[in-house]
């Protein structure tokens, strides 16, 4: 096996994978009501195609945009639309959503059926099926997959990287997928390589998943074009730019994209969905989520319908412990705290973390002591303390010139700061202010 590779910077938070890494994926029964936000992706929001009292079928398109950079939404159950209105979204905003009362019948509009000749399809038909399935990056970024697989003619891709790193503490959904759906993920990788006409692929997996490394290595042993790369355990090893640097030595320029250095990165969950979309025309109506933390009774990895409320999923895992204090969409480093457990699972929901009173306790912020630890560990080689200070004192222009927009909000700076400054929170606020300022011009 190749030597373990990594990138400059990063931190080593407690992994906390032991809660669920040995727990096989279990399917959760669909809830009585699903709430499906029409914006679950980067790009143009969808417009509703249904109204209150409409009857819908499973897999039916219920939201669509005319823009290319978008991802359609489907009904994840059959039943009756009870509302089309703004509802709380796990990203902390209110989003126009379609609320469907489940009739319990799971009546498909078009039931997925395996096409044994799917690898003979043209690249355009493959991308069309991916677009019609509503695929968006399931590692959290939620960038529409058909767009990602359509690079401009002047951007030549020569390497596909399959992201099985899952560096965020607590989360193990991708780990379980690599163990339980190995062949389907590799089939999806073959589809991606065919679409891009690429002859080289690297599967990046952190070394804290030796069983996944072993299984993927065994399955790819006779595949000359595909190699498995064990990576040093370090956060945020799974971020696109850091993974590309570790796997290929190439550095994505400031403001650039992976395609600028000839690479394309796909999460393993997204790759599995690519296989299902192309081989069976299956829309993205469900995903695997890790439910974990000291505040939930029976942590595990579960397959749930898109639009399932967090509460329903937590109840399926035994419910809350008495000392449960906080719910986070995602993991502790990049996740977002929730004000209600009625928010739904969306395409980018990889985990639901429930903290207890002890782990949810906030530290009092103190003045910066100029130790430069945030500079040492920043994977983007920024000066987070300076950027945050500019935002704190309302100078967003200087923050932008200092690298505000290059920050990927990994949270490493806030984690390492001995003064417990809310560095990444200031930076997130700065980006919101900057975007509003640009829109007002």
Which of 241, 265, 280 represents a domain boundary (last residue)?
280
Question: Do 144 and 276 reside in the same domain of the chain?
Answer: yes
Q: What mean pLDDT do residues 295-318 have? A: 98
pLDDT tens per residue across span 227-266: 999 999 999 999 999 999 999 999 999 889 999 999 999 9
Question: Do 273 and 380 reside in the same domain of the chain?
Answer: no
Q: What mean pLDDT do residues 63-89 have? A: 97
The answer to the question of residue 116 being in a domain is no
Residues recorded for the chain: 441
Q: How far apart are CA 398 and CA 405, in angstroms?
A: 12
The answer to the question of residue 322 being in a domain is no
The CA distances from residue 167 to 12, 204, 233, in Å, are 10, 11, 7
Tokens of 92: 């902390």
> pTM of this prediction?
0.95
Yes or no: say if 341 and 309 are a contact pair by the CB < 8 Å rule: yes
The answer to the question of residue 208 being in a domain is yes
Which of 232, 249, 280 represents a domain boundary (last residue)?
280
The answer to the question of residue 382 being in a domain is yes
Question: Do 144 and 272 reside in the same domain of the chain?
Answer: yes
Question: Do 138 and 259 reside in the same domain of the chain?
Answer: yes
The answer to the question of residue 109 being in a domain is no
pLDDT tens per residue across span 163-200: 999 999 999 999 999 999 999 999 999 999 999 999 99
Q: In sequence order, what are the residues at sequence separation of 6 or more whose Cβ sits closer than 8 angstroms to the Cβ of residue 427? A: 384, 387, 388, 391, 399, 404, 407, 409
Question: Do 245 and 130 reside in the same domain of the chain?
Answer: yes
Q: How far apart are CA 31 and CA 43, in angstroms?
A: 28
Write down the pLDDT at residue 334. Answer: 94
Yes or no: say if 258 and 265 are a contact pair by the CB < 8 Å rule: yes
Q: How far apart are CA 382 and CA 401, in angstroms?
A: 11
C-alpha Rg value of the chain to the nearest Å: 21
pLDDT tens per residue across span 79-112: 999 999 999 999 888 999 999 999 999 999 999 9
The answer to the question of residue 197 being in a domain is yes
Yes or no: say if 138 and 234 are a contact pair by the CB < 8 Å rule: no
Phi then psi for residue 327, to 5 deg, are: -110, 135
Beta-carbon count within 10 A of 298 CB: 12
Helix (H/G/I), strand (E/B), else coil: 39:
coil
| Total number of domains constituting the chain | 2
Q: How far apart are CA 275 and CA 86, in angstroms?
A: 33
The answer to the question of residue 392 being in a domain is yes
Average pLDDT, the chain: 95
Question: Do 128 and 268 reside in the same domain of the chain?
Answer: yes
Which of 255, 280, 305 represents a domain boundary (last residue)?
280
Question: Do 130 and 238 reside in the same domain of the chain?
Answer: yes
Question: Do 271 and 417 reside in the same domain of the chain?
Answer: no
CATH classification of the domain holding 222: 3.40.50.11540
Question: Do 136 and 274 reside in the same domain of the chain?
Answer: yes
Question: Do 378 and 276 reside in the same domain of the chain?
Answer: no
The answer to the question of residue 171 being in a domain is yes
Yes or no: say if 56 and 34 are a contact pair by the CB < 8 Å rule: no
Question: Do 378 and 246 reside in the same domain of the chain?
Answer: no
Question: Do 258 and 137 reside in the same domain of the chain?
Answer: yes
Q: In sequence order, what are the residues at sequence separation of 6 or more whose Cβ sits closer than 8 angstroms to the Cβ of residue 347? A: 40, 41, 71, 134, 136, 138, 142, 284, 287, 306
Q: How far apart are CA 281 and CA 111, in angstroms?
A: 8
Q: Tell whether the model's pLDDT for residue 2 goes beyond 60.
A: no
- What is the strand order of the sheet 33-37 is part of? 33-37, 94-102, 79-88, 55-56
Tokens of 431: 């980006």
Closest CA to 58 of 7, 120, 4, 103: 103
The CA distances from residue 336 to 139, 308, 349, in Å, are 15, 18, 11
Full domain range(s) for residue 403: 373-439
């Amino acid at each position: 096996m190749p030597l373990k590779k990594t990138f400059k910077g990063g931190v080593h938070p407690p992994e906390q994978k032991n809660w669920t890494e040995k727990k096989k994926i279990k399917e959760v029964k669909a809830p009585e009501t699903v709430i499906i936000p029409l914006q679950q992706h980067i790009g143009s929001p969808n417009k509703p195609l249904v109204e209150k009292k409409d009857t819908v079928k499973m897999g039916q398109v219920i939201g669509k945009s005319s823009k290319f950079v978008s991802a359609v939404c489907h009904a994840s159950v059959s039943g009756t639309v009870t509302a089309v209105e703004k509802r709380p979204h796990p990203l902390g905003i209110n989003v126009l959503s379609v609320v469907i009362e489940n009739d319990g019948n799971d009546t498909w509009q078009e039931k997925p059926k395996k096409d044994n000749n799917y690898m003979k399809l043209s690249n355009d038909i493959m991308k069309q099926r991916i677009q019609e399935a509503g695929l968006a990056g399931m590692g959290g970024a939620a960038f529409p997959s058909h767009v990602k697989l359509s690079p401009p003619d002047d951007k030549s891709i020569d390497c596909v990287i399959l992201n099985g790193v899952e560096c965020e503490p607590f989360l193990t959904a991708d780990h379980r997928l690599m163990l339980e759906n190995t062949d389907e993920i590799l089939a999806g990788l073959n589809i991606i390589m065919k679409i891009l006409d690429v002859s080289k692929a690297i599967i990046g997996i952190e070394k804290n998943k030796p069983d996944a490394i072993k299984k993927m290595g065994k399955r790819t042993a006779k595949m000359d074009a595909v190699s498995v790369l064990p990576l040093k355990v370090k956060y945020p090893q799974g971020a696109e730019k850091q993974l590309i640097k570790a796997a290929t030595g190439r550095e994505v320029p400031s403001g650039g994209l992976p395609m600028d250095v000839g690479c394309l990165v796909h999460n393993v969950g997204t790759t599995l969905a690519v296989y299902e979309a192309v081989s069976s025309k299956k829309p993205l109506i469900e995903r695997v989520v890790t439910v974990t933390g000291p505040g939930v009774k029976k942590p595990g990895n579960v397959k749930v319908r898109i639009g399932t409320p967090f509460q329903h999923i937590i109840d399926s895992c035994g419910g809350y412990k008495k000392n449960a204090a906080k719910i986070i969409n995602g993991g502790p480093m990049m996740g977002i705290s929730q004000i209600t457990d009625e928010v739904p699972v969306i395409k980018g929901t990889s985990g639901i973390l429930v903290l207890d009173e002890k782990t949810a306790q906030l530290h009092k912020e103190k003045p910066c002591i100029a130790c430069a630890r945030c500079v040492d560990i920043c994977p983007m080689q920024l000066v987070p303390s300076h950027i945050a200070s500019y935002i704190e004192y309302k100078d967003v222009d200087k923050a932008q010139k200092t690298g505000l927009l290059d920050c990927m909000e990994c949270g490493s700076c806030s984690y390492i700061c001995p003064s417990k400054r809310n560095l990444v929170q200031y930076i997130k606020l700065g980006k919101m202010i900057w975007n509003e300022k640009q829109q007002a011009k």
